[in-house]
A = this chain, B = another copy of it.
């Protein structure tokens, strides 16, 4: 029980961190322009920011459906991580965002298991 609560608190924290990283990096990438502002890259970061906030809320509310959200969140975070880390000319901001996505994907995958 205590174990479960620790895991969920860590997962909520990872989701809120990833939400914040993605939203901040969208602004960064739009400012950089060019390849950074490609629609597929901005869109997956918008998707990731939103699913992270939604998954966090389901856990905070103690919803019985949180595992379904965490499963989808893990998948979207993985794709966002790849879009950030695999990006041509990935800079510090994007590597930092990729790291937040990876941590969130790991936490959410554990929570969904």
Which A residues form the contact surface with B (CB < 8 A)?
A: 12, 16, 20, 23-24, 26-27, 30-31, 33, 37-39, 42-43, 46-47, 50-51, 53-54, 56-58, 60-63, 65, 68-69, 72, 75-76, 79
Contacts and interface: CB of A to CB of B under 8 A. Distances in A.
Nearest to A72: B68
A50 to B, nearest CB: 6
Contacts of A20: 12, 16, 56, 60
A10 to B, nearest CB: 13
Contacts of A50: 54, 57-58
A81 to B, nearest CB: 14
A65 B37 contact: no
